[in-house]
């Protein structure tokens, strides 16, 4: 993983094990989700609430725990994986003939497993927010309330780039949590983590906010690297030392008023268990992403149209910048939002929406809360002078319109579909094909995660057949994938560069 935590050996997502596979959207839904939100601290009601609510001091945890616990649910998922039996050793194939190893010895089998996580009720009519990795690839999702009621849930939408998902149960008058304001959280402020760690009953732990806008690089694995213009993950985690463990994923991080300030998502650990650092998606981002998933089926992302560089003193010296903190604009995309607003290469963004900005993670979080057409107030340092700009965000196509899920395709449908297998592919060159004695094929360049990593397949494998169809090009592989029915596996036949032996792999689709 590409982050400063690499020396810790592992940065573990928090579900009992990371589930894999496809989205389970239910179509274009124009309904709005209705949140319970706390009054902004800047309003008279908000100031009164702050004065009358329990203060952030040790021992004031009971009120927050009592307020938040009923809204945090246990999520259990069932996942079906397709696995391949052990290959027949070469000695038997030599004796019985090559076709022996292509029979039942390599036949795929379906195995069912279970995973466990947490979720937070965000509306009384049954919408629940959790982590993408808690429900991703699940065949069945069960939600268990604190009062022991159990419901089957449907997945409304998922967003791997923020690791958030929304599910829904058929119930009314549920105890929805109140959404707080993650922007006003202070370092050292007390918070509680509520969830279902290690498959235990509802559990509350306490800690402090130890950092904000923290990027750890854990979501980089979710980037669609086959995309022509891949989106970057939005990581601006709240870091806390409240004890969280596998199973806490999707659970609540709350302040001492019992208001949701984050969704617990990850831990930094050498073992996969609590080692002192946990990370939560801030509620400011949770609110926007979940509302988009409910209303549109996908996240509406706004784009500044720049290539940013996070400054420090060394980077500033290399770029010739007069200041050492802020976001240096290394390039302005022609026809993009920033170009239209008058921003230029070499400008340094120092404020957005009145907040001082000095990290890429913080900038992406602020943008991540907005949609195309929204206007961002921005202060820029240009050659030592401060200038104010108003930038109207654009969608990925350069417009201001909402993009439905069905329209949200960044590359050709072939590449987008193949990327869902969790790997990067390339066609064999004529030279390589001739050297291997085959007419062509598609090589697996890199296995990221998801369906491919759920099999024994290894990087470098060359696919020559898929579901009985000859594969020489990416288009051939796409055609085989398109013809695969829901619930069936994609049976790949191929070879490795240093072996003439043919292998079979069943990839769940």
Catalytic residues: 133, 163, 249
Which alpha helices (H) appear in 206-358, and where do they start and end? 283-296, 313-319, 337-341
- CA-to-CA dists, residue 311 to 235, 333, 364, angstroms: 18, 20, 15
Tell me the C-alpha distance between 469 and 401, whole Å.
Answer: 40
The three state secondary structure string of 77-136 is EEEEEEEECCCCCHHHHHHHCHHHHHCHHHCEEEEEEEEEEEEEECCCCCEEEECHHHHC
Tokens of 226: 């086959």
CB 8 within 8 A of CB 1: no
Tell me the C-alpha distance between 135 and 422, whole Å.
Answer: 16
Plot region of 67 (φ>0 → left; ψ -120 to 50 → alpha; else → beta): alpha
Residues 6+ apart with CB under 8 A from 389: 341, 342, 343, 377, 378, 379, 380
Instruction: End-to-end CA distance of the chain: give it in Å, rounded.
Output: 26
Neighbours of 248 (CB within 10 A): 32
Q: How far is C-alpha 334 from the chain's CA centre?
A: 29
Considering only CA atoms, which of 470, 472, 466 is closest in space to residue 489? 466
Q: How far is C-alpha 192 from the chain's CA centre?
A: 23
3-state secondary structure of 478: helix
Considering only CA atoms, which of 463, 448, 409, 509 is closest in space to residue 82? 509
Tell me the C-alpha distance between 215 and 198, whole Å.
Answer: 25
Tell me the C-alpha distance between 177 and 395, whole Å.
Answer: 31
Tell me the C-alpha distance between 480 and 229, whole Å.
Answer: 25
């Amino acid at each position: 993983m590409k982050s400063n935590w690499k020396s810790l050996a592992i940065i573990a997502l928090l579900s009992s094990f990371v589930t894999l596979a496809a989205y389970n959207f239910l179509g274009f839904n124009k309904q709005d989700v209705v949140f319970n939100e706390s009054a902004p601290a800047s309003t008279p009601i908000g100031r009164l609430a702050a004065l009358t609510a329990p203060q952030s001091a040790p021992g004031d945890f009971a009120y927050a725990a009592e307020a938040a616990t009923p809204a945090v649910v246990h999520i259990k998922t069932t996942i079906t994986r397709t696995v391949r039996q052990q290959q027949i050793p070469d000695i038997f194939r030599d004796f019985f003939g090559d076709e022996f190893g292509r029979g039942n010895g390599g036949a795929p089998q379906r195995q069912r497993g279970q995973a466990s996580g947490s979720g937070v009720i965000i509306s009384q009519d049954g919408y629940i927010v959790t982590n993408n990795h808690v429900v991703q690839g699940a065949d069945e999702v069960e939600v268990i309330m604190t009062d022991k009621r159990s419901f089957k849930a449907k997945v409304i939408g998922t967003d791997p780039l923020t690791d958030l998902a929304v599910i829904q149960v058929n119930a009314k008058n549920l105890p929805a949590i109140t959404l707080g304001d993650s922007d006003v959280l202070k370092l050292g402020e007390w918070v509680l983590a509520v969830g279902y760690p290690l498959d235990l009953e509802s559990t509350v732990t306490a800690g402090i906010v130890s950092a904000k806008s923290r990027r750890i690089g854990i979501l980089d694995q979710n980037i669609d690297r086959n995309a022509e213009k891949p989106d970057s993950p939005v990581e601006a985690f709240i870091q806390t030392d409240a004890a969280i463990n596998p199973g806490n994923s999707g659970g609540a991080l709350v302040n001492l008023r019992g208001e949701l300030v984050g969704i617990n998502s990850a831990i930094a650990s050498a073992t996969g268990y609590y080692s002192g650092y946990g990370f939560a998606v801030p509620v400011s981002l949770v609110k926007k992403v979940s509302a988009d998933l409910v209303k549109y089926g996908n996240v509406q992302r706004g784009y500044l149209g720049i290539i940013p560089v996070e400054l420090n003193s060394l980077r500033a010296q290399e770029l010739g910048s007069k200041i050492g903190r802020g976001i240096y604009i290394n390039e302005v995309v022609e026809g993009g939002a920033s170009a239209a607003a008058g921003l230029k290469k070499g400008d340094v963004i120092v404020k957005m929406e009145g907040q001082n900005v000095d990290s890429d993670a913080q900038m992406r979080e602020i943008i991540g809360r907005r949609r195309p057409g929204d206007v961002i107030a921005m202060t820029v340092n240009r050659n030592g002078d401060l200038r104010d700009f108003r930038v109207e965000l654009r969608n990925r196509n350069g417009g201001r319109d909402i993009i439905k899920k069905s329209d949200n395709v960044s590359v050709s449908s072939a590449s987008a579909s193949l990327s869902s297998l969790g790997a990067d592919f390339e066609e064999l060159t004529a030279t390589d094909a001739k050297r291997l004695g085959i007419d062509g094929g598609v090589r697996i360049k890199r296995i990221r995660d998801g369906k491919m990593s759920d099999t024994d397949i290894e990087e470098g494998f060359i696919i020559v057949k898929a579901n009985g169809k000859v594969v020489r090009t990416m288009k051939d592989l796409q055609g085989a994938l398109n013809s695969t029915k829901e619930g069936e596996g994609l049976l790949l036949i191929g070879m490795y560069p240093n072996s003439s032996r043919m292998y079979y792999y069943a990839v769940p689709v």
